[in-house]
Structure 1
Amino acid sequence: MKNTNLNKQAGMVMVFALLILLSLTILGVTSVSSSLLQSKMAISMERSSMAFDAAESAIAGVIFESEDKVILADVNLNDPLSDARGGNQLDLNVQTLSCFDNNTWTNRSVTAQGLSKGSRHVATGDYVNQPAIDSWSKTAFLREQPCVGSSNVIGGSNISCHVFIVRGCGQLKDSNFVVANTLSASVFAPAAQ
């Protein structure tokens, strides 16, 4: 009788030990899976942040070039806003300013060489090499309008505000998505006749 009780108790201890071992295994697998998922999310956020930085740099590159006194003084060079003003007008009710439309809008890029005075930034190349990231912008002319709040400054003059839209785009080369940001810029300029 004692031997049977001992066998039953040993069997119960074995079942109990196996249940504890199974629980610990499930807990460990769940912990590892959660850790891997969090790691993938962190990498994705970092990559998205890097692409956003590239898009912001592309917008800053347009502003940098549009304020470059060397380019503005050279009759043979146009800054991105002047190029866009000479091109087709963008109608936001019908068209979009896409990062992938290579024919319609004024294109600029920012490479690892950075921005330099007196240069039109149209060269191709990576914004960052490790990981490889592209950074480019599209600029389009939206409209000419009266300058809000400027009547006291330029009242009666032949000046209007030329409104542009600049879209900065950033993409990791092995990624399927592009991160984009948009800036609206208004420039005082002579009114069109």
Structure 2
Amino acid sequence: MKQQQQGMVLVFALIMLLCVTLLGVAAVSTSLSQTKMANSVQAQGLTFDAAEAAIAGVVFESEDQIVLSDVNLDDPLTAARQGLTFDPQTDTLECVNDTDWINRQLTSGGLKKGQQNTATGNFHTQPDVTSWSRTAFVQEKPCRGSSNVIGSGGLRCHVFVVRGCGQIDGKRTITANSLTVAVFGPSSEAQ
């Protein structure tokens, strides 16, 4: 006698195949999400490095004895001191504002003694990352911890803010970091 098959084995096999397919799709989705997150973290790291390097570029150029002794070159802090005064209460030192503040750009060529960092180009390639800075003079004030002879005019602290910026070309987001710098200088009242 022949036994009639009811198709239960076929239904069970189809259910198992559906479960395995769903597990495979879930694994691929998780893998794609992790790849996207890893790429995002890497991109954020590159732009942060670019912003930090831009700040370091301003400090490097402001300490460069060749630039400081050349009457034809201004370091970013000297140029900012001669420019507009930045009021933190009303002004913003935005990375996209390249008209009001002192601008410098850092490229993959790095920092070179005796030169202003004004070249154009990318800080990093694959992906292309741009690195630049904005520098502004904030105020002149007495320096904490320093003593001045009364009536001499003395030294004052010239306070600047430096904003480093980094951006991947083609992306809308910009990563920025700031540094406040105080430099001993002659009092403007004594001059």
Which residues in structure 2 correspond to 1:142-153 (within 5 Å)? 142-151=138-147
Partner of 2:115: 119
1:25 counterpart = 2:44? no
Give the residue type in structure 1 aligned to 2:23: L
- The percentage of aligned residue pairs carrying the same residue is 51
The separation in 2 between residues aligned to 1:150 and 1:95, in whole angstroms, is 29
Letter paired with 2:173: F
Q: Name the CA distance, whole Å, in 2 between partners of 1:76 and 1:35.
A: 56
Runs of 4+ in 1 over 3 A off after TM superposition: 154-157
Q: Does 1:57 align with 2:53?
A: yes
1:36 aligned onto 2:32: yes
Q: What secondary structure is seen at the aligned counterpart in 2 of 1:119?
A: coil
- Tell me how far 1:2 sits from its aligned partner: 6.9
- The 3-state SS of whatever aligns with 2:3 is helix
Deviations 1:35-92 (A, max 9, x none): 0010011011111111111111110000000000011111221100010111011111
Is 2:188 the partner of 1:180? no
**TM (normalized to structure 1)?**
0.92
Alignment of 1:156-171 (within 5 A): 156=150, 158-171=154-167
Separation (CA, whole Å) in 2 of partners of 1:128 and 1:28: 37
Work out whether 1:3 is the aligned partner of 2:3: yes
Deviation at 1:129, TM superposition (A): 2.8
In the alignment, the residues of structure 1 paired with residue 116 and residue 12 of structure 2 have an alpha-carbon distance, to the nearest angstrom, of: 75
In structure 2, what is the equivalent of residue 141 of structure 1?
Answer: 137
Q: Which runs of 5+ in 2 are unaligned?
A: none
44, 47, 59: which one pairs with 1:48?
44
Q: Give the corresponding residue for 2:64.
A: 68
Q: Cα distance, 1:123 vs. partner?
A: 1.4
Separation of aligned partners in 2, 1:3 and 1:73: 103
Structure 1: gaps spanning 5 or more residues: none
CA separation in 2, counterparts of 1:17 and 1:136?
61
Aligned CA RMSD, in angstroms, stands at: 1.5
Query: If each structure's helix is expressed as a fraction of its own residues, which one has the higher value?
Result: 1
Aligned length: 187
